[in-house]
Structure 1
Amino acid sequence: MLKWLTTSFWDFIASRILRNRVVLLITLTLFTIFMAFQWKNMRFTYTEANLLPDHHEVNIQYNSFLEKFGEEGNLIVIGFKDSTFFTPKNIKLWENFIGEIKKDKAVELSLSIEDLRVLQKDTSEQSFKLVPFINNEKISESYLKEKEQEFFNNLPFYEGMLFNKESGAIRFAIYIDKKIVNTSARKDFVIKYLNDDRIEAFEKASGIDLKISGMPYIRTLNSQSIIDEIGLFVGAALLITSLLFFFFFRSFRATLISMLIVIIGVMWSFGTLGLLNYEITVLTAIIPPLIIVIGIPNCIFLINKYQQEIKKHGNKAKSLQRVISKVGNATLMTNLTTAAGFATFIITDSELLKEFGIVASLNILFLFFLCLIIIPIIYSYMPLPKEKHLAHLGKNYINSFVKWIENTIRKHPIAIYISAIALLVFGIIGIYQIKISGSIIEDMPKKAGFFQDIVFYEKEFDGVMPLEIMIDTKKPKRALKSATLKRINELQETIEEIPELSKPVSVVNLVKYAKQSFYNGNPEYYELPTKQEETFILSYIKNSTKKGNENMLKSYVDSTGQYARVTTFMRDIGTDKMKKIEDRLQEKINTLFPSEQYTVTMTGKAYVFEKGTHYLVKNLVLSLLFAIFLISLLMAYLFRSFKMIIISLLPNILPLIITAGVMGFFGIPIKPSTILVFSIAFGISVDDTIHFLAKYRQELKANNWKIKKSVFNTVKEAGISMFYTSVVLFFGFSVFTLSSFGGTVALGSLVAATLLFAMLANLILLPALLLTLEKTIANEQEFIEPKIDILAEDKEEEEENKNE
């Protein structure tokens, strides 16, 4: 029944497509217009990728921290290393540069030289007051020289925060309004005030080389780079695939038809993002060029089949009918396996990956329908291909390649297996050397100006990635108690001993600064108060907050006085180092803060991202296993033979192992971008296996189950299309190496390499396996009639084969 339905179904589909050409073209046009209107709903992401599900403990802790202290990634820093800053000319230029920025309503707080405030004791009010560090009325060369000495030597509270005492590097801070830091208003602010023209004008006038960083600035420029690269990828993918397509087919109309299809596919992919109201992220941004790269092989199979039919009998109507009815199943199956490779991301708990998987898999299926409808319809209106358009079917270089494959399989089977085993061992050894990376900035454009500025802050201020420690004292107002302050101070001393972390800041620093101010600013007194000093110094602090200086405490302690925070910044370090740092800090926390009195959690963007990476790796390993299982089920349904499932999986799993080995030996870490390689490559590479085995079974029937003849006939017939599609896929994915993002480059190059390995495995190892297992699959009982006859031949065609 299924057999009859399958054959009849595709004959029915073919007749419906060719009889309803105008209606279908109008429908596709209207749907394309509808999808184009959905573009208005597209929006670019303004937050970092959250790789953890909302219900994960790390996310819950991070959100709890944000509730107490607000968005922690709202700091923009502007710094430099220049001894000429403390001069009247440059101070004035700086005030003009920063003054306009501070007036914007997006700025919540600024910490700069002209508005820098220092604590001063007010004996009459028994409180501290904030007074300007620089008196603008006294500015002169000598005055600023004194202030420079005071800045570096008498303000230990700001050391590590505003200056590096050893190198003389300085940075000032702009705190963006937390309400707009994750919106488009942040982008508008950065582009308006920190654009290249404005920065260059200041640098030219002052001679000072500004270095700008901080999460809002990094995220804005990083997002802009993603947006810029979408156009680059789409254009490059169209160019390279069209050139390859024309080189293979030597036909402008075939090339233009293929380009039309993938351009519509790209429009639909953007429309899908808008329709589902998904954000454009670093992952979803690669879907449009992916559609181009994956769509072209569909066009190759269908157009190649049409031209083969024309060359065989010259009947256009019959050729178009057969393009749909004879290749429809194969194309559907290959698109389903490719879509399945992407769809496995949907089972992860990561919203980022779910959205990527949904949009990619949907649009791959859309591509199938586009190709199946547009190619036959357009060719039905065109004249028959000329002889020159069919010349590629007998190209010498293709025949030479196929003959080399045949000779290798026929004469060197042992060498094939030795090579396969050697590559397998290579891959397994390499797998044990793979490392996991959880860095936010690792994949950012290394040549971009803002990345070079990150390097400056890594060197001078030990990084820009915030790591937060939140301390719940379990009682209101306990955060300012002497016992708590001493514990926090000891924890900060441990943090200072770790070279990968910056000097920490907390309420302890403020209390130390208060004692220094109480003793008239003498830096020797920058330390925690003694028991005798605590009462009156802490009372000074409390009196100060009552007089409108609540900002002094609110950044470090919540409004109830129950929660305190310790903020440090982290260099871009490997996951292994980060884990050791976490373990060291956790050990110290467990020692200092008894669980019955305190609850201490580590959090912050850097910490959340690192945990998210590990979580993602585990999920994606499961998704890859699920992809293998899913495609195995599909193979079982298609071929109904356990032996054929094993034979079909081996040539596709081996390239994955080889690629993993290459990653290990060349130091390419497992991270959110590179872990995608395996599911994507596996889903695509299986397409070649399906085409090969489908044609192989067809040859078996035509040749009375003669294995050798069937294998070599299959290599000749299927080898050309497999070669064409693999070359297109290789160069298509290589387009991603044009990216400035390390992760995208790794994704493109690794998928391209894996697909190249897979083509060779499917053309060399797979036939060798079939020949070696000749005795065990040489009869019709072992290779059971499939549920779906992928490349079904009608009786007329069977007769043609017998007569040849």
Structure 2
Amino acid sequence: MWTQTASFILKYSIILLLILLSLSAYMGYQGTKAEMSYSFSKIIPNTDSVYIENEKFKSLFGEDANTLVLGVQTDKLFNIDFYNDWYRLGKAIKNISINFRGKPNMPIKDVLSVAHLPILVRNDSLKRFDVMDMVPERVNTQAELNKLKEKIFDQTFYDGLLLNKKSNASIMHITFDSEVLNSESRIEVVNKIKDITALHMKKHNTEIHYSGLPFIRTVMATKVKNELIAFIFLALLSTAVILFILFRSLYMVVFPVCVVIMGVMWSMGLISLLGYKVTILTGLIPPLIVVIGIPNCIYLLNRYHTEFVKHGNKIRAWSRVIEKVGVATFFTNLTTSVGFGVFFLTESAILKEFGLVAGISIMVTFVISLLFIPIIFKFLPKPSKIQTKYLDNNIMDRFILFIANRVLKGRRLVFTITIIVVVVSIVGMMRIKVEGFIVDDIPHDTKEYKDLMFFESNFNGVMPFEILISSANGGKFVGKKQQILVKKMEKAQRIIESHNEFSRSLSLADGYKLINQAYHNGNDKFYKLPRSMDLVKMKKYLKEDDSRGLGNKLIKKFVVDSSRFFRIKTQVQDLGSVHLPELRDSIQKKLLKVFDPEVYDVKFTGTSIVFIAGNAYLVKSLIQSLVLAFLIIALIMAWMFRSGKMLFVCLIPNTIPLIITAGIMGYFNIPLKPSTVLVFSVAYGIAVDTSIHFLAKFQQEIDRHSWDTAKTILAALQETGKSMIYNSMILFCGFFIFTFSSFGGTVALGLLSSITLITAMFTNTILLPSLLMKIEGTIKNKGLNKTGSKLFIKDEI
């Protein structure tokens, strides 16, 4: 098959090149249409109960993660100059206007702060509660502001929501339109908010803190977009530099780079054509294609030069390269593709997209390299002595000889060191903990993370945590039943707020307290649940069909669907996937004593709860994907070599690097989370490539050396060892560029993958040949005679 493939490529080279360039140009054009993702990545499947509950909650009460918060900590808050500027800031933010989908749009729905306080006022003539701004457009004197401050402090409803009296910290809540929130326009709005804030608050020399999920998501989306371009450039630059250092030839740099550029064009085109968007995961694919695609070119060109030096015939050299290296390169790309592609078999949308695009892109890049490199170099001048001089690299030759001596004469030491390292790594591996955080990807030394800590320390968190309450039998809570429920919710809120991890909570109980205070003309002594008699009187002011009265609107923030569903709204600190479930379970046990399960159905939902489920699901899915990748790759290897011992020899050197990496994670307290679990499947699929190339060459050389294992290993090392080392260096540097990311998960992926791959280089160049020597008896008995003879074209004797 590969003989015919070589003949076909070399015979129809012009036609194939034109087709390849045309298709790549088309995919590149499609790639320009790829859009960034500005909504939450869908992690858990539609059938998951947590997903169903959260979607149900959003359909009832709307989006829970649509509020950006500004925070300040200053004793000047109620200084007239600062206060008026704080007021003007909120008004300017409320009046932000953008062009959204071709039409003018006011993306900010509401602004709430100590300078923008709506209060309820009893309207006896119309029998309703009206809303009135407590704060006039401008406070003229400090004395006037002092009186206003007393009134604000009387509004118990806002206590702990907008102001921390002990620390002088205050918040401005900015609510987004949901459509703008999940679009690219969100970035424009957030940038305008930051610009307006800087303009209004500059003279006060007070630090402004930003947080809330709209802000965090905007920061992450912007960084993904910027890093996509930066990492493609860095990957191309680093690989080009390494190629030039190794080969000292522009041809050997320019055309491999052309291959991976076409691979990047295909990957971006696939994202667009499949209807996907660029997420934090799919954004990694283009630079990964650069890193993974270059080794294909190195193996092909290294073998081309080796063949050409033997006889000086370009066409014959390329024919032999495609015949002998093509099959091995196909299987190396197949195993790498499997390492990524298994993610498509999960039920997580974000993993499915990543797995499918990456898997296809890797195989497409293989095809591009197999066509483009032979065709281009077929028309280029014959390699000069300078261009093939690297084949006689004395330093590399001595290093290969050193490895060969260790394999042939020092195997006991190799095995001893391997066993010690594995045992130590297993001990470290046992220390690994599974933990992730909502803002895991934001480094702790950034302003975004420090701002989050500001809100957690002053207001106990900004991550939405919702409790949905309904009847266990589907009924309504009206009249006396609702009064009983409201009292129970008040008790539940006291339980929640007894935990410092939660912010001030809100429920229908707070709504009724506020209405009771308004009914009694703002007297703060009446901020409490109304008596039954007063409640009957208030009902006259809460008309279902009165769209202008605020009282009924306030009630609908906490109860919907004709009094079937009620909510308790709060925020929680980003406690992580270990402590947050513990806190949730603790609250749940306590609430069982308040809400009889036979009467009330109590569900926990909100962004923080979805995160817990998503994190657990991702880790579980990624571990399953790793196991599946291991099995599929093992089956591929078994089919290639058709020998249990050869399968063992191939898998062991590639499993040990994973164990070592896991050990490092344990010793350095790097938790197991989605970004770190991802490393194992990806790195394993890539690391196996080195084994395949070495064993393929070993199979090709075994006849030539009369089944002498030692001579065959030496020959295989001398011919493929350099390529193995060169490729490992490129892979190491390529993955290491991800450590410059501003996302913690990407940094972990880059660092741990680099460690795994460089470790795999040593195990595949030293341990793998040592294991082959260990089964020398089987090889000498020609037990491998039928293993891969039809797959791997044997070298001429």
TM over 0.5: yes
Give the alignment of 1:73-472 within 5 angstroms. 73-103=65-95, 104=97, 105-121=106-122, 128-136=129-137, 139-151=140-152, 153-191=153-191, 193-195=192-194, 197-472=195-470
Contact (CA 8 Å) 1:545, 1:553: kept in 2 or not?
no
Worse-superposed segment, 92-101 or 46-55: 92-101
Q: Which residue of 1 aligns with 2:63?
A: 71
For residues 539 and 166 of structure 1, the distance between their equivalents in structure 2, rounded to whole angstroms, comes to 39
Task: Give the secondary-structure state (helix, strand or coil) at the position aligned to 1:466.
Answer: strand
Q: CA deviation at 1:747?
A: 0.3
Q: CA deviation at 1:198?
A: 3.1
Worse-superposed segment, 334-343 or 594-603: 594-603
Of 6, 25, 28, the match for 2:20? 28
Q: Which residue of 2 aligns with 1:670?
A: 672
Contact (CA 8 Å) 1:639, 1:784: kept in 2 or not?
no
Q: CA deviation at 1:525?
A: 4.3
Letter paired with 1:110: V
Contact (CA 8 Å) 1:639, 1:787: kept in 2 or not?
yes
Of 681, 686, 689, the match for 1:687? 689
Q: CA deviation at 1:704?
A: 1.9
Q: Which residue of 1 aligns with 2:752?
A: 750
Contact (CA 8 Å) 1:52, 1:349: kept in 2 or not?
yes
For residues 139 and 565 of structure 1, the distance between their equivalents in structure 2, rounded to whole angstroms, comes to 40
Contact (CA 8 Å) 1:129, 1:544: kept in 2 or not?
no
Task: Give the secondary-structure state (helix, strand or coil) at the position aligned to 2:603.
Answer: strand
* Count of aligned residue pairs for this structure pair: 784
For residues 410 and 525 of structure 2, the distance between their equivalents in structure 1, rounded to whole angstroms, comes to 81
Change (3 A) 1:560 1:438: farther
Deviation string, structure 1 residues 274-314 (Cα, Å, up to 9, x no partner):
11111100000000000000011011100101111122221
Structure 2: 5+ residue runs without aligned partners? 98-105
Deviation string, structure 1 residues 741-787 (Cα, Å, up to 9, x no partner):
0000000111110011111111111122122232344321x324135
Fraction of identical pairs, as percent: 37
Contact (CA 8 Å) 2:699, 2:789: kept in 1 or not?
no
Q: Which residue of 2 aligns with 1:51?
A: 43
Q: Which residue of 1 aligns with 2:763?
A: 761
Q: Which residue of 2 aligns with 1:4?
A: none
Q: CA deviation at 1:521?
A: 4.0
For residues 547 and 387 of structure 1, the distance between their equivalents in structure 2, rounded to whole angstroms, comes to 87
Deviation string, structure 1 residues 697-756 (Cα, Å, up to 9, x no partner):
223222222222222332222211110111110011001011000000000111110011
Q: CA deviation at 1:523?
A: 4.0
Give the alignment of 1:707-718 within 5 angstroms. 707-718=709-720
Q: Which residue of 1 aligns with 2:101?
A: none
Q: Which residue of 2 aligns with 1:3?
A: none
For residues 750 and 272 of structure 1, the distance between their equivalents in structure 2, rounded to whole angstroms, comes to 28
Of 574, 577, 583, the match for 2:576? 574
Worse-superposed segment, 618-627 or 291-300: 618-627
For residues 271 and 567 of structure 1, the distance between their equivalents in structure 2, rounded to whole angstroms, comes to 43
Task: Give the secondary-structure state (helix, strand or coil) at the position aligned to 2:46.
Answer: coil
Contact (CA 8 Å) 2:164, 2:458: kept in 1 or not?
yes
Contact (CA 8 Å) 2:778, 2:784: kept in 1 or not?
no
Q: CA deviation at 1:608?
A: 0.6
Deviation string, structure 1 residues 182-227 (Cα, Å, up to 9, x no partner):
1233233223x224x4332223233332222221122112101100
For residues 508 and 387 of structure 2, the distance between their equivalents in structure 1, rounded to whole angstroms, comes to 77
Contact (CA 8 Å) 1:446, 1:741: kept in 2 or not?
no
Contact (CA 8 Å) 1:462, 1:570: kept in 2 or not?
yes
Q: Which residue of 2 aligns with 1:802?
A: none
Change (3 A) 1:478 1:703: farther
Of 773, 776, 785, the match for 2:775? 773
Change (3 A) 1:412 1:530: farther
Letter paired with 2:668: F
Contact (CA 8 Å) 2:436, 2:671: kept in 1 or not?
no
Contact (CA 8 Å) 1:447, 1:740: kept in 2 or not?
no
Deviation string, structure 1 residues 539-594 (Cα, Å, up to 9, x no partner):
65569967521321222111422111111112121322112101112212322222
Deviation string, structure 1 residues 592-629 (Cα, Å, up to 9, x no partner):
22222221111111211221111121121111111111
Q: CA deviation at 1:18?
A: 1.6
Contact (CA 8 Å) 2:339, 2:685: kept in 1 or not?
yes
Q: CA deviation at 1:391?
A: 1.4
For residues 299 and 14 of structure 1, the distance between their equivalents in structure 2, rounded to whole angstroms, comes to 16
Letter paired with 1:60: I
Q: Which residue of 2 aligns with 1:37?
A: 29
Letter paired with 1:427: S
Structure 1: 5+ residue runs without aligned partners? 1-8, 799-804
For residues 539 and 169 of structure 1, the distance between their equivalents in structure 2, rounded to whole angstroms, comes to 39
For residues 139 and 82 of structure 2, the distance between their equivalents in structure 1, rounded to whole angstroms, comes to 15
For residues 432 and 670 of structure 1, the distance between their equivalents in structure 2, rounded to whole angstroms, comes to 12
Deviation string, structure 1 residues 405-461 (Cα, Å, up to 9, x no partner):
223223432222222222222232223222222322111244543333222212211
Change (3 A) 1:396 1:149: farther
Letter paired with 1:98: G
For residues 502 and 116 of structure 1, the distance between their equivalents in structure 2, rounded to whole angstroms, comes to 19
Change (3 A) 1:37 1:136: closer
For residues 102 and 47 of structure 1, the distance between their equivalents in structure 2, rounded to whole angstroms, comes to 23
Task: Give the secondary-structure state (helix, strand or coil) at the position aligned to 1:750.
Answer: helix
Task: Give the secondary-structure state (helix, strand or coil) at the position aligned to 1:43.
Answer: coil
For residues 691 and 717 of structure 1, the distance between their equivalents in structure 2, rounded to whole angstroms, comes to 10
Q: CA deviation at 1:477?
A: 4.3
Task: Give the secondary-structure state (helix, strand or coil) at the position aligned to 1:592.
Answer: coil
Q: TM-score, normalised by structure 2?
A: 0.94
Contact (CA 8 Å) 2:271, 2:357: kept in 1 or not?
yes
Contact (CA 8 Å) 2:408, 2:710: kept in 1 or not?
no
Deviation string, structure 1 residues 633-674 (Cα, Å, up to 9, x no partner):
111111111111112111111111111121122111122211
Contact (CA 8 Å) 2:738, 2:751: kept in 1 or not?
yes
Q: Which residue of 1 aligns with 2:495?
A: 494
For residues 221 and 68 of structure 1, the distance between their equivalents in structure 2, rounded to whole angstroms, comes to 29
For residues 151 and 389 of structure 2, the distance between their equivalents in structure 1, rounded to whole angstroms, comes to 83
Contact (CA 8 Å) 1:737, 1:748: kept in 2 or not?
yes
Letter paired with 1:564: F
Q: CA deviation at 1:159?
A: 2.0
Q: Which residue of 2 aligns with 1:627?
A: 629
Q: TM-score, normalised by structure 1?
A: 0.93
For residues 110 and 327 of structure 1, the distance between their equivalents in structure 2, rounded to whole angstroms, comes to 65
Deviation string, structure 1 residues 5-43 (Cα, Å, up to 9, x no partner):
xxxx22222122122222112111211221122124311
Change (3 A) 1:501 1:432: farther
Q: CA deviation at 1:392?
A: 1.1
For residues 298 and 654 of structure 1, the distance between their equivalents in structure 2, rounded to whole angstroms, comes to 24
For residues 533 and 461 of structure 1, the distance between their equivalents in structure 2, rounded to whole angstroms, comes to 33
Task: Give the secondary-structure state (helix, strand or coil) at the position aligned to 2:2.
Answer: helix
Letter paired with 1:440: I
Contact (CA 8 Å) 1:269, 1:363: kept in 2 or not?
yes
Contact (CA 8 Å) 2:429, 2:666: kept in 1 or not?
yes
Q: Which residue of 2 aligns with 1:62?
A: 54
